[in-house]
């Protein structure tokens, strides 16, 4: 099956931002500093280059199979049985990813904002809205980003600029004090976020014109790396490595230090509102992609009947995955890097190599 309508290359790049940035700026900086210390910003550069490998694979697949989704490409390249099996792996991976994002969202609100409120309340609340948005299709999701993106960009830049009086560049030195190994360790942690660029292979089929998909990948990935780097460097310069390692919600904590005189404070409330809107886009997009993929694998002509059941299952899985925020952090630090390397890098490269060896190609949908 396929979606009705198309999106522009700019909208595709913006969706890629929302597929990665909202949770990355909140959870990733502390984990990066834990691994790479003051060289965490170098880890982002290395991870971005690694994610570029996935971006190239996505682009080359899109050139070989224009207007075909990642799930459709699996069957075209590997055959009906093996193709459906690999496509189902992608479906389950996006489903699990969305459950993790939902739990991250609910844990943040329950831990930092409303500690007396159960996580389940936040999960159900955002899924109800996400189900409604996902059922309305990709074009509706992209229109939501047109309003939220300027607010997110302005606010991330504003946090960095307004926190500058508290910054000390000495916290970034010395560079490579412990060699390259900690940087590579941090890059592996960052990979589990930046590797999510593979999601563009699922909705890239609806980008018009298809040849502009490369522009979407480049601008999307570089924009993510730039703003993520701002948050990481800002946190290190404000708090220092030892303190950042103990933080859980880095960007939120960075917003809390902003104080201009006696009149401009508590800007973390604005951060909270914009962040919740960004995570809503991420959850909706993941839910849409999961439903679209499952409909493709099962041969359904319509993905919309699958959205609500998948959303309900996402809530259940998000509750079963972890017991608390500490387990979420441990998973992001130790488990996700290895698992994401398998399906975000290994499988796309496998599809590309097999397509090349077998000479598989399509000129249109």
Q: What is the pLDDT of residue 163?
A: 85
Three-state SS sequence of 44-58: HHHHHHHHHHHHHHH
For 138-195, write each residue's pLDDT tens digit.
988 998 888 888 888 888 888 888 888 888 989 998 899 889 999 999 999 999 999 9
For 252-292, write each residue's pLDDT tens digit.
988 888 776 666 667 778 888 889 999 999 999 999 999 99
Q: What is the pLDDT of residue 365?
A: 44
Q: How confident is the model at residue 107 (pLDDT cuts 50, 70, 90)?
A: very high
Cis peptide before 174 (omega within 30 of 0): yes
Q: What is the pLDDT of residue 49?
A: 94
The conformation of residue 200, written as its DSSP 8-state character, comes to: H
DSSP codes joined into one string, 201-257: HHHGGGBSSGGGHHHHHHHHHHHHHHHHHHHHHHHHHHH-HHHHHH-SSHHHHHHHT
Q: What is the pLDDT of residue 257?
A: 83
Residue 63: CB atoms within 10 Å: 13
Q: How confident is the model at residue 358 (pLDDT cuts 50, 70, 90)?
A: confident
Name the β-bridge partners of 260: 264
In a domain, 4, yes or no: no
Cβ-based burial of 92 (10 A; exposed 0-12, middle 13-18, buried ≥19): middle
Query: In a 3-state reduction of DSSP, which class is residue 260?
Result: strand
For 72-91, write each residue's pLDDT tens digit.
999 999 999 999 999 999 99
**C-alpha to C-alpha distance for 176 and 183, rounded to whole angstroms:** 8
Q: What is the pLDDT of residue 218?
A: 93
Backbone angles phi, psi at 237, to 5 degrees: -70, -30
DSSP codes joined into one string, 110-179: IIII-TTS-HHHHHHHHHHHHHHHHHT-HHHHHHHHHHHHHHHHHHHHHHHHHTGGG--GGGG-STTTT-
58 has pLDDT over 50: yes
Name the β-bridge partners of 7: 207
For 233-251, write each residue's pLDDT tens digit.
999 999 999 899 988 898 8
Which CATH number belongs to the domain containing residue 272 in this structure?
A: 1.20.1740.10
Of 110-114, 264-268, 352-356, the poorest mean pLDDT is in: 264-268
Q: What is the pLDDT of residue 5?
A: 66
The conformation of residue 263, written as its DSSP 8-state character, comes to: T
Mean pLDDT of the 44-50 span: 95
Mean pLDDT of the 47-58 span: 94
1 has pLDDT over 60: no
Nearest partner of 234 among 166, 175, 187, 186, judged by Cα: 166
Q: What is the pLDDT of residue 157?
A: 85
The count of structural domains within the chain is 1
In a domain, 171, yes or no: yes
**C-alpha to C-alpha distance for 204 and 61, rounded to whole angstroms:** 10
Cis peptide before 152 (omega within 30 of 0): no
**C-alpha to C-alpha distance for 102 and 119, rounded to whole angstroms:** 10
311 has pLDDT over 80: yes
Q: What is the pLDDT of residue 42?
A: 95
In a domain, 363, yes or no: no
In a domain, 312, yes or no: yes
Q: What is the pLDDT of residue 121?
A: 94
Compare 210 and 134 and report the one with higher pLDDT: 134
Read off the pTM: 0.94
Q: What is the pLDDT of residue 260?
A: 65
In a domain, 285, yes or no: yes
**C-alpha to C-alpha distance for 294 and 350, rounded to whole angstroms:** 21
Residue 346: CB atoms within 10 Å: 11
Percent pLDDT > 70 in the chain is 96
In a domain, 193, yes or no: yes
In a domain, 127, yes or no: yes
Q: How confident is the model at residue 129 (pLDDT cuts 50, 70, 90)?
A: very high
Three-state SS sequence of 79-128: CHHHHHHHHHHHHHHHHHHHHHHHHHHHHHHHHHHCCCCCHHHHHHHHHH
Domain span at 125: 9-358
In a domain, 81, yes or no: yes
């Amino acid at each position: 099956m396929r979606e009705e309508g198309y999106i522009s290359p700019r909208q595709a790049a913006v969706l890629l931002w929302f597929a990665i940035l909202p949770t990355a700026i909140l959870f990733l900086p502390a984990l990066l500093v834990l691994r790479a210390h003051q060289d965490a910003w170098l880890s982002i550069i290395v991870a971005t280059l690694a994610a570029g490998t996935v971006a190239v694979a996505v682009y080359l697949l899109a050139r070989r199979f224009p207007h075909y989704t990642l799930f459709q490409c699996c069957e075209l390249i590997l055959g009906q049985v093996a193709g459906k099996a690999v496509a189902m792996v992608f479906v389950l991976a996006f489903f699990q990813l969305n459950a993790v994002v939902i739990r991250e969202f609910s844990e943040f609100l329950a831990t930092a904002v409303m500690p007396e409120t159960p996580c389940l309340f936040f999960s159900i609340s955002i899924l109800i809205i996400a189900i409604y948005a996902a059922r309305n299709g990709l074009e509706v999701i992209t229109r939501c980003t047109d309003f939220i993106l300027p607010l997110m960009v302005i606010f991330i830049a504003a946090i960095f600029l307004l926190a500058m009086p508290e910054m000390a560049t000495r916290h970034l030195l010395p560079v490579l004090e412990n060699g390259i190994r900690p940087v590579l360790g941090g890059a592996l942690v960052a990979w589990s976020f930046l590797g999510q660029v593979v999601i563009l292979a699922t909705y890239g089929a609806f980008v018009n014109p298809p040849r502009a998909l490369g522009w979407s990948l480049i601008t999307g990935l570089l924009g993510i790396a730039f703003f993520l780097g701002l948050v990481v460097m800002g946190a290190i310069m404000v708090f220092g490595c030892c303190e950042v390692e103990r933080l859980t919600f880095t960007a939120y904590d960075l917003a809390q230090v902003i104080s201009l005189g006696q009149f401009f404070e508590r800007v973390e409330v604005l951060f909270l509102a914009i962040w919740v809107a960004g995570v809503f886009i991420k959850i909706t997009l993941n839910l849409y992609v999961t439903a679209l993929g499952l409909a493709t694998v099962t041969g359904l002509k319509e993905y919309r009947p699958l959205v609500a059941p998948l959303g309900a299952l996402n809530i259940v899985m998000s509750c079963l995955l972890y017991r608390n925020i500490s387990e979420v952090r441990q998973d992001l630090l130790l488990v996700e890097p290895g698992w994401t390397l398998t399906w975000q890098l290994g499988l796309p490269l496998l599809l590309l190599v097999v397509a090349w060896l077998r000479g598989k190609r399509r000129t249109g949908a």
